[in-house]
Amino acid sequence: NAGVMQNPRHLVRRRGQEARLRCSPMKGHSHVYWYRQLPEEGLKFMVYLQKENIIDESGMPKERFSAEFPKEGPSILRIQQVVRGDSAAYFCASSPERGKETQYFGPGTRLLVL
């Protein structure tokens, strides 16, 4: 059973460009979570999605950031008009059931904004 897959592993963007980060949950998992980790910091929750639904986006910046988890395909975290402060590691996690604390994390995507 493959783990959580994220791609790309590294992404370089110039200020003003768009960044798209993809996450494929573990097989059988229908709950996806996105986290951001700044250097020397812990992970900060951004958004929690189920298939075709955003359940909790309380950690997501109000502007430029969006997330989706379509019926088919991976979950996408989209950052429009990136700024240098968006440079961070973005981790995706998945879980099999609602309410389960055991989340399985992917390897992360490291975004660098020049």
Partner 1 sequence: LAKTTQPISMDSYEGQEVNITCSHNNIATNDYITWYQQFPSQGPRFIIQGYKTKVTNEVASLFIPADRKSSTLSLPRVSLSDTAVYYCLVGDRSGYSTLTFGKGTMLLVSP
CA distance 100 to 67: 21
Q: Which tokens hold the place of 47?
A: 């958004």
Number of residues that bind partner 1 (CB under 8 A): 30
Could you tell me which of 46, 52, 93 has the C-alpha nearest to residue 69? 52
Closest to partner 1 by CB, 53 vs 81, is 53
What amino acid is encoded at 53 in this protein? N
Q: Which of 31, 75, 77, 79 binds partner 1 (CB under 8 A)?
A: 31
Q: Concatenate the DSSP letters of all residues of 17-68 into one string.
A: --EEEEEEPPTT--EEEEEEE-TTS-EEEEEEEETTEEEE-TTS-SSSEEEE
Site for partner 1 in 89-108 (CB under 8 A): 89, 91, 93, 98-108
Binding mask 50-89 for partner 1 (x = CB under 8 A): -----xx-xx-----------------------------x
List, in sequence order, every residue forming a beta bridge with 113; answer none if it has no partner: 13
Q: Min. distance of Cβ 16 from partner 1 in angstroms? A: 27
The residues that touch partner 1, with contacts defined as CB under 8 A, are 4, 31, 33, 35, 40-45, 48, 55-56, 58-59, 89, 91, 93, 98-108, 110
